[in-house]
Structure 1
Amino acid sequence: MQQIILRDGRVAELRVAKDDAHDRALIRDLAARVSAESLYFRFMHVVKEVREDLITAMIGDGGPNALGLLCMAGDELIAIGNYVRLGSGETAEVAFLVDDKIQQKGIGTLLLEYLAETAWNHGIVRFEAYVLRDNTPMLSVFRASGYELVSKIESDTVHLYLSLSHTEKFRRLREMREKRATVASLKPFFEPSSIAVVGASKDPTHLGHILLKNILQSDYTGTVYPIHQTASSVSAVRAYKSVLSVPETIDLAMIAVPAAQVSAVVDDCLSAEVRAIIIVASGFSDRGPEGAALEQEIARKIRGAGRRMIGPSSLGVLNLTEAIHMNASFSPILPVGGSLAIASHSGALGIAVLEYANRIGVGVSSFVSLGNRVDVSGNDLLQYWEDDPDSKIIVLYLESFGNPRKFWRITRRIARKKPIIVVKSARTASAFSLSKTRQSTLAAPDAAVDALFRQAGIIRVNTLLELFDAAALLSYAPLPRGRRVAVVTNTAGGAVLTVDTILREGLEFVSPVINLGFEALAESYREVLPQVLRDPSVDAVMVIFTPVSATDQEGVIKAIAEAVQEVRQEYEQLGQTNELKPIVANFLTPGNDFVHYICAGSMRIPVYPFPEHAVRALAKVTIYAEFCRTEPGVLPVFEAIDTDQVRAFIRRNLREELSFLPPEQALQLLSLLGIVTAPAKQPDARTLWLEIKVDALFGPLITLHAFHDFGATSDEVWQIKSVTRIMPLTDLDAREMVEAVLNPWQLQSGSARGLMSMLMRFSVLIEAAPEVAQVTCRRIELSEEKAFAVEFEIGVQAVPAR
């Protein structure tokens, strides 16, 4: 089954119809429930009872020639969409029947999208539909879908033709619809007006008691209902025996009872029409097959009722915005409100993250402990935070990817607006084997993860300490305009270590080091810093300080703050705040084990415990700033490539299993793509080659390899450079791949442009033809003006590999 989210935030599931008594009965029951008008619109004539032959046509054969897609709300069928191929061609007729009570909630649009995707994978390139002119809602579904649409009015009927190719408009509208629905579904978690704590206890050691206490002590602006079977009150708040007894509809239920009791509590919550559920109890998939089965049973109940769930094994949610101010979690620390939105796969580490954020003074807007991620995922949270005005920086601790391609699409859209910092753990086989997600998730190849993060503009860090080092800088400092870093110090030893780290991290050192010595320190920093900050050859400043006497530090802090304020006020008066530069500092003093700040008016300067920490944070932020300054890539469009012709050519040469096109057909396919080919001239030379493979998690990946030699004849002086990207490629992706493997002197040549073109044309092939499962170009030759594919192999198969 495929979970979908409707426009109003409710959840339903899609599945392929089966030709059995059960599904036939579901379709008959739906047809009996809908109005006569809905049946008339669907079949275009008066229908009293849907015949069995019509039901057979609606169910189809699973996709190759006909497909029925059922939309289920629990055990009830609420809509069906189906297509039927017309003859043996590439066109299919599509139609829908939606329960009257759920119409205009986005179901028709979602059914159309999923039907189109399946049809496309089976070689159908266009849909036809006949819609009565009075059927305005269905006409709106087609017109708002984003597919290229042609319509003809034929008497009282509109004849529609939809091209199923994914245009940029279609992608944009689909993403917008998905985000809008997801945000609506998550509002009860983040903005509840009422919370029920099921399992609230008088025992201060009990989880239910801790949870209730934290909500009450956080000055939550809504209403809290303790649920206790026998107590009349808990923590001086009136208690109720069950959620069914509560006198108002509950937005959010927190379930803190033993795992064996959760299913019955969920039943009560659904009967009481609770909008959202967080299960904090453990003992589900983390405890073996029986627990996993119970977890899935509960998930089916919640989805069937159109509700959403966080957990199980979640440690809760925080929303520290002024309007809500809620600590519905087990965190003993209530951080200050701020701009950091945090999601964690690990509850315990998530609590540690909150504690560290509080210690270093980085404010938090919201926090979610995802637990077992049976329903709500990191992808959902990203879409909620995308337009949340209180969340300006997004922080994720990930152990695995549920849907990495979706994660890639979402983060690629968000990262230019808001920085996303990610710790991706479970990078090794040993670590992955310890992850609680290992039983339900495939291990992600690190090269693919790195490609995803680079293409999306995500700031990847290796440790939680690095995460907060970067967050501390991003929270209060402007982004650097370049890589040039000046060093102002009163200690040569610290400067040596700093300059080494600057160069090692890929930044540029602006020489010389400005060494202030050990006399009149405060005055020296006060005088020199404004000059450095105004210097147009400097993009960022690193300040190092080692005290000579016990009274030095306070004076230096004041001098640095005054210097920064002076320059800031100057730029503000000139209307040149974009000229402001980030400053990072290191005070080599005992006892400073955490990042802290120097307050300089509206700016805060992070002071790191070690100079390496400061420089690494600056390097991460600088790379992110470069990403933000780069124009977003665009998907290539080659007017000379007829993608329909390419697809038809491949489908004529399909086999049931993976097979490779004969050399002459592979050559013909590359010719259709406009890829230049040539016979091998130097059989023993291999300088460039590429591979395209379909990863089970990430979909199609393209890797470009290059041999580089350093002037000697020994094999040991050859080095392989490789770069991987997720497809489809934008022009920016292709350029970055070429820049990563070619020598600098080659980048301005026609061959570099030819290699970029080759990569993008292969990307067009993969997008146009899902039947392409593998491409290997064992050798690519570069001339002064072109790139030639010399030895190539193309694998295809009838069943789509994605």
Structure 2
Amino acid sequence: MARVILRDGGVAELRKARFTKEDVGQIRNLLQSVSEESLYFRFFQVIRDFDDNAIEKLIGDGGPTALTLMCSDGHRALAIGSYQRLGEDSAEVTFLVADDVQKRGLGSLLLEHLAEVAYLNGVKQFEASLLTDNERMMHVFSASGFAMTKKEESGIIHLVWPLRHNERSRALQETRERLATAASLHTFFHPKSVAVIGASRAPERLGHVIFRHILSSDFKGTVYPVNPTAASVAAVKAYPSLKDVPEQVDLAVIVVPASQMLSVADECIEAGVKSVMIVSSGFSDTDPPGTELEKTVLDRLRAAGCRMIGPSSLGLIQMDPHVQLNASFAPNIPDVGNVAIASHSGALGITILDYAARIGVGVSSFVSLGNRADVSGNDLLQYWESDPATEMILLYLESFGNPRKFTRITRRITRHKPILAVKSARTPVGVNVAKSHTVAVAAEDATVEAMFRQTGIIRVDTLQELFDVAMLIRAGKCHSGRRVAIVTNTAGGAVMSVDRLLREGLEFVEPVINLGFEALAESYRVVLPQVMRDPSVDAVIVLFTPVGSSEEEAVRVAISAALCEVANDPAGEGRHPYDKPVVANFLTTGDYRVRYLEVDSDRCIPIYPFPEQAVRALAKMTAYHEYRDRDFGHIPDLPDIDTQAARSIVRSALTSDVERAELTRDAIKEVLKALGTGVTLCDSVAPAGMTVEIRVDSDPLFGPLLRLDLAGQSASSIMQVPGLLPAVRLVPLTDADAREIWHDACARANVGAVEQEHQAFVLDLILRLSQWIEDVPEVSHAKFHLKLTDRLQCMEAKVEASRVPYNSWTIDLA
């Protein structure tokens, strides 16, 4: 069973229908309750009497020959989608949607998931027949993005389309998901009424604290304390239960013991609440019984179309002036700003908010995710993606729930909004600690690093660094590059800065401009514009060590004046001087926070307490700008490739009684031929040449990963070298990804110039293998050991397949 989000933000259950009394009853009720028009469009006749045999045939065997997916609200079937196999490669697909829930996207959802399940069962194409006046179903098919062929005859339209996803179909599917998810979270961030269930009169109790914070945040809606034994809480009239509250409640904040949660959840359902945040602990964060209780609560809320944050959430904040809601334990909230924050750790999340308030980083919204039983980080990212109040996203992560989805979402967002992330649990010990207090699932840190690089996420190591980079990005619109100049009055700070620049992969523009200590403020004002106008300089680091009590303010004024001067320079060729970032380090004592030097209404200069902080923040922003400037590439249409033929070869190794198999050498030859690789699988020893190893592994979290190693190095040996990460990318790869993984592999193996023909050959092979792995989910592991000579010779090859797909597209519909 899986949660799906409908077009209007409602929530429903999606699962495979089974031949049970309950499912047969729900399907029969759907058939008997829809209009005659709906029946006619579905069956080409009006028929309501279906015996158990007919329904059993409709339900099918769960996928190999027939399947029905059922979308339910927990009480009745809202819609069903079915396919019946017509032959080895094709299946016919049909749909029936209840009249009162049409136009909510159920048909599109069923089609997407049916296509995924059918493909995993070896179906290559769908067919559908519909009456010409069935405009709604025709719209569902047209809007799917699949490349369809259409034939019309005698008032019936016959459609045929391959099930392999293309870029358009995936983009449309992601757009539908993003809009639906954002709609489902709307009342969390824009409630008109909030009820705090468990609001206590005792000031030290959590329910009282969170209720007080809502009051003091000047919430623009209405807040109701719910307490069965108190007449009032904080001088506000209390209500014994949710049903007694005099208006519809949009958001329920629950602060009661876990033992009372089921009855409170039922109250919320009865009252029609669509957004619930559970602050209480005692669920999957504690023990197996708590995990089971959490599942039961979630199932009840989900069946009622209700979304849930938590349990063990420490709250939510929405800074929109039209809302102003602090439903959290944060005593100090930041100013209104454009930074959204999500935290897996509640306590650290509160600390992050406190630090943001102290250094002046404005926040648009904040969520402590808690156990993430329902609302996840992926959901929040999709909400903030289109939120006009959010321009930057900060994440504290301990694990990934659905990494493949996280990758798709973040790759889309980072092209126009920066995402900064602290990913903890990077070591085995850290992983064990994370597991001890969350439901974290750890991934190899090198894989996480590869994902962040591939998606453009700015990864930082500490919470301090998180804000160091955030403050630089929000200081103003500028564009960084790798060539950095240093203007200073202290040689010691310059030495530290240069060392750090080179370690971060930036380039130092010599010489260090040392102003000394005479006429210091005027020297900064005169020299800084000259440096910024230098076309060989992309960014400037300003270092200052005061020698007199009054000098700091004079230097601040001088630096601001210098930037104002270059701002008025006429536009010319190349980068305008004002577009170049400037970061500063003032080695003062007493206050070690990052501060801003105001230049004008659009620009600030961050002043860091230590030079290393300034350099590292600049390096992170530079890497992000390089990511945004790059060619993101596309998944190319490769000539002479037949992944379906290659898939048939793989599937032929998996007979009915074989769950896993290793392909024979002859089968691998046929696969390489079907993929159009031009690779020769040989038995003899190849002449001298560069060694290339390409591996595909199925990570339990991230799905298929492609690794490239050159010059005979293995991934295991490279992982032992400090600071080096494997050349790895998540499948599918774009042509830009292929070029980058080649570059990474060459750099790691210290390989110099490679013949263009050989490079092109390897890049083409990488893309063909990537497409093969994407289209053939049965492949669980593959390894190709090659020699680059006058032709590409494969000396060793191994391909393992599994009947249970490792890199399944689909969600769990069991």
Q: CA deviation at 1:5?
A: 0.3
Distance 2:495 2:776 in 1: 55
Deviation at 1:178, TM superposition (A): 0.2
1:690 maps to a residue whose letter is I
Match of 1:755 among 756, 762, 775: 762
Secondary structure (helix, strand or coil) at the match of 1:460 reads strand
Evaluate the alpha carbon distance shift between residue 323 and residue 439 of structure 1 in structure 2; reply closer, same or farther with a 3 A threshold: closer
Residue of structure 1 in register with 2:800 after alignment: 795
C-alpha contact (below 8 Å) 2:199/2:208 kept by paired residues: yes
Partner of 1:16: 16
Which residue does 2:811 correspond to in 1?
Answer: none
What are the Cα deviations for residues 432-454 of structure 1, in whole angstroms up to 9, with x where unaligned? 12225777453211121111101
Which residue of structure 1 lines up, in the alignment, with residue 773 of structure 2?
Answer: 766
* 1:724 counterpart = 2:728: yes
1:670 to 663, 672, 677: 672
- The 3 A distance-change label for structure 1 pair 209 and 569 is farther
Q: Secondary structure at the match of 2:512?
A: strand
Tell me the SS of whatever aligns to 1:333. Answer: coil
User: Equivalent residue of 2:375, what SS?
Assistant: coil
CA contact (8 A) 2:686 2:795 kept: no
Offset of residue 686 of structure 1: 7.4
| Deviation sequence 1:457-488 (CA, Å, 0-9, x none) | 11111111111111110111334342000000
Q: Deviations over 1:46-69 (max 9, x none)?
A: 213122222012111111111111
The correspondence for 1:738, drawn from 730, 742, 746, is 742
Displacement after TM superposition at 1:573 (Å): 11
Kept in 1, the 8 Å contact 2:345–2:368? The answer is yes
Aligned partner of 1:166 in structure 2 is 165
SS for the counterpart of 2:174 is helix
The Cα of 1:159 is off from its aligned counterpart by 1.6
- Aligned partner of 2:370 in structure 1 is 371
Match of 2:105 in 1: 106
Please state how far the C-alpha of 1:645 moved relative to its aligned partner: 2.6
Post-superposition CA distance 1:620-671 (Å, at most 9, x none)? 1100110000021201211321233333333333342222221122112112
TM-fit CA distance, 1:568 = 2.0
Structure 1 CA distance, aligned partners of 2:229 and 2:524? Answer: 67
For residues 397 and 447 of structure 2, the distance between their equivalents in structure 1, rounded to whole angstroms, comes to 15
Distance 1:27 1:514 in 2: 79
User: Residue 54 of structure 1 aligns with which residue?
Assistant: 54
TM-aligned CA distance change 1:720 to 1:782, over 3 Å: farther
What corresponds to 1:782 in structure 2? 788
Query: Is contact 1:677-1:790 (8 Å) kept?
Result: no
**Partner Cα distance (2:577, 2:34) in 1:** 60
SS of residue matched to 1:128: strand
Cα pair 2:282 2:290 within 8 Å, conserved: yes
Query: 1:299–1:496: structure 2 CA closer, same or farther, 3 Å change rule?
Result: same
| Mapping 1:132-531, distance limit 5 Å | 132-436=131-435, 440-531=439-530
Aligned equivalents of 1:93 and 1:42: distance in 2?
12
- In structure 1, the partner of 2:592 is 593
| Deviation for aligned residue 1:507 | 0.2
Structure 1: how far apart are the matches of 2:773 and 2:468?
Answer: 40
Q: What per-residue deviation string (whole Å, max 9, x for no partner) do you get for residues 75-97 of structure 1?
A: 3222211111013x211111112
Q: CA deviation at 1:787?
A: 4.3
Aligned-partner Cα distance in 1 for 2:691–2:325? 59
Q: 8 Å contact 2:371–2:439 — kept in the other structure? A: no
**Secondary structure at the counterpart of residue 130 of structure 2:** strand
Shift of 1:619: 0.5
How far, CA to CA, are the matches of 1:794 and 1:452 in structure 2?
Answer: 24
- List per-residue Cα deviations over 1:235-294 (Å, max 9, x = no partner): 233322222122221111111112112221111111111120101111111121111111
Query: Which letter maps to 2:608?
Result: Y
Q: CA deviation at 1:430?
A: 1.6
TM-score, with structure 2 as normaliser:
0.94
Secondary structure class of the residue paired with 2:365:
strand
Name the CA distance, whole Å, in 2 between partners of 1:647 and 1:624.
38
Q: Tell me the CA shift for residue 149 of structure 1.
A: 1.4
Matches of 2:702 and 2:523 in 1, distance apart? Answer: 54
- Distance change in 2, residues 1:747/1:252 (3 Å): farther
Q: Quote how far apart the aligned CAs of 1:707 are.
A: 3.3
Change (3 A) 1:135 1:624: same
Does the 8 A contact of 1:5 with 1:11 survive in 2?
yes
- Whole-Å separation in 2 of the counterparts to 1:720 and 1:222: 53
- CA separation of 1:645/1:437 partners in 2, compared to 1, >3 Å: closer, same or farther? farther
Equivalents in 2 of 1:439, 1:330: separation in Å? 19
The alignment's TM-score, normalised by the length of structure 1, stands at: 0.95
Contact persistence 1:317–1:328 (CA under 8 A)? yes
**Kept after mapping to 2: 8 A contact 1:399/1:437:** no
The answer to whether the 8 Å contact 1:319/1:327 transfers is yes
C-alpha change, 1:720 and 1:496, in structure 2 (3 Å) is closer
Assess, with a 3 A threshold, how the Cα gap between structure 1 residues 541 and 439 changes in structure 2: closer, same or farther.
closer
Deviates more, 1:50-59 or 1:233-242: 233-242
CA distance in 1, matches of 2:499, 2:102: 64
Equivalent pairs counted in the alignment come to: 793
Post-superposition offset of 1:151 = 2.1
Structure 1 20/789 Cα, relative in aligned 2: closer, same or farther at 3 Å? same
Counterpart CA distance in 1 for 2:793 and 2:554 is 65
- Deviation of the 1:228 alpha carbon: 2.1
Change (3 A) 1:439 1:420: closer
Give the deviation of 1:231 after TM superposition.
3.1
For the 8 Å contact 2:434–2:440, the answer to whether it is kept is no
- Structure 1 residue identity aligned to 2:288: P
**C-alpha displacement of 1:152:** 2.0
Structure 2 gaps of 5+ residues are: 714-719, 808-814
Tell me the distance in 2 between the aligned counterparts of 1:234 and 1:554: 50
Moved more, 273-282 or 570-579: 570-579
Deviations 1:491-538 (A, max 9, x none): 001111110100111000000000000111111111111111111111
Separation in 2 of the partners of 1:189 and 1:648? 48
Work out whether residues 316 and 367 of structure 2, in 8 Å CA contact, stay in contact via their aligned partners in 1: yes
* 3-state SS of paired residue (1:45): coil
Q: For 1:507 and 1:113, locate their aligned partners in 2 and report how far apart those are by CA, in whole Å.
A: 45
* Partner Cα separation in structure 2 for residue 573 and residue 708 of structure 1: 49
Secondary structure of residue in 2 paired with 1:24: helix
SS in 1 for 2:569: helix
2:717 is matched with which residue?
none
Q: Partner of 1:70 in structure 2?
A: 70
Match of residue 712 from structure 1: none
Report the Cα offset of residue 744 of structure 1: 6.0
CA contact (8 A) 1:9 1:186 kept: yes
| SS in structure 1 of the partner of residue 786 of structure 2 | strand
TM-superposed CA distance for 1:98, in Å, is: 1.7
For the Cα contact (< 8 Å) 1:692–1:702, is it kept in 2? yes
CA distance in 2, matches of 1:199, 1:572: 62
Structure 1 Cα separation of the partners of residues 363 and 570 of structure 2: 29
**Inter-partner Cα distance in structure 1 for 2:416 and 2:678:** 39
